[in-house]
Structure 1
Amino acid sequence: MNISQNLEAWEALVLTAKTGNVSKTALLLDMDIPKVSRLISSLEKELGYELLDKSKRPFKPTKKCEIIVSLAEPILKSFRQMLDFSRGVAPKCLIRIGSPIEIMQEFYSQKLLAYSRTHPTVSFEVVPEAGPDALMNDEADILVVNKKLTDETNFVVRPFMQTSTPVLCSPEYLRRYGLPRTVDNLKKHTGLLLKTKTHLLTRFLYKGSQQSNLLQWKTLFLTHDQLAIKRLLLNHQGITTDLYFGHLLEEIKNGDLVPILPGWERSPWIMSLVTRRDRDLENSELRKFADWWAQSEADSALDRVVKGRRIIEQAQRNAAELFESLPFS
């Protein structure tokens, strides 16, 4: 039998084109590394041209290989489904979710595990936070995004929450460095800000329809992880405009963190679930899960926002006495 008629060889090629690593492919296929290499080399020999650029690490598929992979993937998927059906095995659905790391840890992980227990054919893989390109490049099946997409043409967008966040720091930080009375006074302070693939730096604050001047800081610390910002706040290291209050309601309630610059907030988080339109239409399990998750999050997020706003309003009232005793910066 020609190697080109061996589905195992095509599966080895497709996975290696994606992973860029023969060792990872061998692990995924439960196969010896030399066997994976032989299968791919045999394909190249029979076809008469290279499929992978092995001069680079990780390996890169050639242009021809990219086309072959796009044609082979649906065939391999259908073949696996046919085998499962013929063996009486329910088809499995793996849903890859791209999400900010901190909200996955704090709010989503338990919910996803619970869904898998009631839907045993559905499994989840959490992948790094990403933009819409990850859906188009087949690197994720669903994204949790925190701002409105600039172009929704190829996507199904399911909004579930909109909220903003106040400017926060610890009382001890204010005792050490003084209370900024205006947004412009932040230039004398350390800013703890969020920067991710999908979120550039917060450059303005808003009070109703009023926009602040461009934010300036004495010192900046940037991170992709909101929980890292939380730890730094609690260690009295700076001021943040970017920490979603759902991560620290107890700390605000207990007075460990206080909202400052009343009324000024960053632009709203516009939280949505995003899927690729064609995949949403063809994959009923993905569509059913996305509908359920959007509704579930809309309900639980609304509770968090209402509770959070009450706690913040009370914290602002409680902070008035503290502010009177603090030096201004």
Structure 2
Amino acid sequence: MTSPNIALNALKLFLCVMRAGSLAQAAKESGLSPSAVSRQIASLETELGFRLFDRTTRRLSPTEAGRLYHHRIAPLIDAMEEARHIAADQVCSPSGTLKVTASVAFAERWLIPRLRGFQDAYPAVELDLALDDTPLDLVAEGVDIAIRLGARVRGDYIVSKLMATRYRVVASPDYVSRVGALARPEDLRERRCLCFAIQAYRTRWSFRKNGRRRSVDVPVRASLTISSALAVRRAALSGLGPALLADWTVADDVMQGRLIDLLPNWEASAEAFDTAAWILYPSRDYLPAKSRVFIDYMRACAQARPS
């Protein structure tokens, strides 16, 4: 008879195969070979006395018995894993792999520069950054924490605000010395701008003053349209024109004089005002210590950031 420990590992592998939908993907997620996964599933089926999956050369699908068994066993295995993590968190420092997803630009300009302090404080936590400008399915991709940007976020997740964000119209000192500053948003009508390649960013920019609800919409003409926010910043630094960029992208550039905020008394936007960076994680009753300390550390960084 299979030992209890091996049986538990086999059950966890069964859940992994059900979630992944294929032996190859389950093998990738579990660090095993597809043949090893297949043998363990076959061994579990022998022990249980019924087939969990119907297999063909091209397809793997759960049997009716497999679906019923998964429905019953999954909450029990999840509860056992949660109990193990809760107990371990009481006696151990945060550890393990923490998978975090964010956009490429946000990671490069805000997140990565702040990771040294986190790693110094929690050396047993290994960070796995999945950088993607397309929002990932946190459950399907095995993501622990996501950082997303916008006025609001959607999805069946636990969501909390990391920090408010604002947008600025910036240009290099060289550009300002050659072309001149802006007295008001409407002056942008006479300028050729650097535009981010999203429709809202390349046709008009909106402005409001001192938090007033009434906004001013200004049509913009592009001299250069770029599909990367990081490249838009680089173009602005090179003196190619004014650009609308998030403060987390250019705050240190403005503070150190590499870029100038052309309209410092105005809030700017292409799509919506009152935007923010949000922290998300899959809904669960228990938040692992590695996730909790990462969230707390990032919030401390956000509170300490220059405005």
TM-score by length of 2: 0.64
Structure 2: runs of 5+ lacking an equivalent: none
Letter in 2 for 1:35: A
Shift in Å at residue 259 of structure 1?
3.5
Q: Does 1:227 align with 2:230?
A: yes
Shift in Å at residue 230 of structure 1?
1.5
SS at match of 2:245: coil
SS at match of 1:162: strand
Separation of aligned partners in 1, 2:68 and 2:120 = 36
Q: Does 1:286 align with 2:288?
A: no
Shift in Å at residue 30 of structure 1?
4.2
Match of residue 326 from structure 1: none
**Cα distance change of structure 1 residues 175 and 250 upon mapping to structure 2, 3 Å threshold:** closer
Query: Where do residues 1-329 of structure 1 align in structure 2 (5 Å cutoff)?
Result: 6-17=7-18, 22=23, 25-26=26-27, 28-40=29-41, 47-48=50-51, 50=53, 55=58, 68=70, 71-72=73-74, 75=77, 78=80, 92-109=95-112, 111-128=114-131, 134-135=137-138, 139-149=142-152, 155-159=158-162, 161-170=163-172, 182-183=185-186, 185-186=188-189, 189-193=192-196, 201-202=200-201, 204-208=205-209, 209=212, 210-213=214-217, 215-218=219-222, 221-223=225-227, 225-244=228-247, 247=250, 249-250=252-253, 253-254=256-257, 256-260=258-262, 263-264=265-266, 265-266=268-269, 267-276=273-282, 278-279=284-285, 281-299=286-304, 301=305, 304-305=306-307
* CA-atom RMSD in angstroms: 5.0
Structure 1: runs of 5+ lacking an equivalent: 306-329
Shift in Å at residue 126 of structure 1?
1.9
SS at match of 1:278: coil
Q: Deviations over 1:61-93 (max 9, x none)?
A: 8997699389448627836986997xx987844
SS at match of 1:206: strand
Shift in Å at residue 54 of structure 1?
7.4
Shift in Å at residue 298 of structure 1?
0.8
**Cα distance change of structure 1 residues 131 and 40 upon mapping to structure 2, 3 Å threshold:** same
Letter in 2 for 1:162: A
Separation of aligned partners in 2, 1:15 and 1:217 = 51
The size of the alignment, in residue pairs, is: 290
Letter in 1 for 2:277: M
Separation of aligned partners in 1, 2:249 and 2:98 = 26
Separation of aligned partners in 1, 2:176 and 2:63 = 57
TM-score by length of 1: 0.61
SS at match of 1:145: strand
Separation of aligned partners in 2, 1:252 and 1:179 = 17
Letter in 2 for 1:192: C
Separation of aligned partners in 1, 2:179 and 2:22 = 51
**Cα distance change of structure 1 residues 219 and 34 upon mapping to structure 2, 3 Å threshold:** farther
Q: Deviations over 1:266-296 (max 9, x none)?
A: 23442343445534x4534433442343133
Separation of aligned partners in 1, 2:54 and 2:216 = 54
Q: Return the structure number with greater strand share.
A: 2
Match of residue 312 from structure 1: none
1:230/1:243 contact within 8 Å kept: no
Q: Return the structure number with greater helix share.
A: 1
Shift in Å at residue 236 of structure 1?
4.4
2:192/2:223 contact within 8 Å kept: yes
Q: Deviations over 1:1-28 (max 9, x none)?
A: 58xx844444444445555665564455
**Cα distance change of structure 1 residues 17 and 130 upon mapping to structure 2, 3 Å threshold:** farther
**Cα distance change of structure 1 residues 157 and 77 upon mapping to structure 2, 3 Å threshold:** same
Letter in 1 for 2:288: N
1:164/1:268 contact within 8 Å kept: yes
